[in-house]
Amino acid sequence: MSEVEVAIAAQAKLGECPRWDPESKKLYWTDIDAFQLHRFDPVTGVDEFLQFDEEIGCFSLREKGGFVLAMRSGYYLLDAWNTERRFLSDPEADLDKTRFNDGRCDVRGRLFAGSYYPPKDYDGANLWCLDGDYSVNRVADDLLTTNGIAFSPDNRTFYYSDTPKHVIYRCDYDLDTGRVSNRRVFHEFPRGFGRPDGASVDVEGCYWAALYEGSRVVRLNPYGEIVQEIEVPARCPTMVAFGDEDMKTLYITTAGGRPEAEKKELPHTGDVFRVRVEVAGLPENRFAG
């Protein structure tokens, strides 16, 4: 494994949701608190962005081209880069304190995306499924911050985490129906050493999680055991994505909205990092709608 290096000197407020596109050979990612969707060309080093007027929690590339966005005010479609967004729906229109956060598509093109409830005085966040026909159903409703959504290589296991609770869950998944069931704890992290944020799965079925305020990324085997750790020169890694031709480059987004003393000590806070790993990641699925 190579050393962790800066891929994009982004100084993002809240870098999140990295997605590798094998067709364009570019990395897409969001800066949630800056209301931006970015695309990065690792060959030229050019990173450009689209500016919006609200947060993009997560997104997916579409099978038809363009993007589906899960934003503060609901789901939107973009038909291509830098086109007008089209509103689909807002399943949390009656909730004024939440916004969409982490998400990912399954192999059938359903987008699973969860929300974030900042007050954290009760479990006010939810996990939703947006199908290719644009119908929406709620998968879970007992969360504070939904994160770490991922699928096993055989599509029979669904993972997600609740970051403030320091817990990653493992569920049974029915690909034909999109049903998530039989939730149990996959791994619970001790307090004070980082909490599970965004994640991705590799071809061996291991789950890679960014540990917010933990300065590292961990790889867990299918039994929930930590088998590898990668230190990151930022206190708050937020999510990981596999990319490049062989899917063996791990891209790591980080949060930059941190105390000044921390940013002085860790000057690459908010940057996007990359590191070469030995096992390839699974390719990202595209939204069917």
Report residues of the chain scoring pLDDT below 50: none
pLDDT digits 0-9 by tens, 89-137: 999 999 999 999 999 999 999 999 999 999 999 999 999 999 999 999 9
**Residue found by looking up tokens 């290096």 in the block:** 5
**Distance between CA atoms of 147 and 115, rounded to whole angstroms?**
8
pLDDT digits 0-9 by tens, 172-202: 999 999 999 999 999 999 999 999 999 999 9
**Distance between CA atoms of 253 and 194, rounded to whole angstroms?**
15
**Distance between CA atoms of 15 and 55, rounded to whole angstroms?**
11
**Distance between CA atoms of 108 and 106, rounded to whole angstroms?**
5
**Residue found by looking up tokens 């099978």 in the block:** 63
The model carries a pTM of 0.98
Residue 133 bears catalytic tag: no
Q: Given the residues 47, 102, 197, 202, select the one marked as catalytic.
A: 197
Collapsed DSSP state (helix, strand, coil) of residue 261: helix
Q: Which two tokens stand for residue 214?
A: 């933990």
**Residue found by looking up tokens 């079925």 in the block:** 205
Q: List, in order of start, the domains of the chain with CATH numbers.
A: 5-276 (2.120.10.30)
5 contact partners, CB below 8 Å, separation of at least 6: 273, 274, 275
pLDDT reported for residue 1: 63
Q: Which two tokens stand for residue 227?
A: 């088998």
pLDDT reported for residue 2: 80
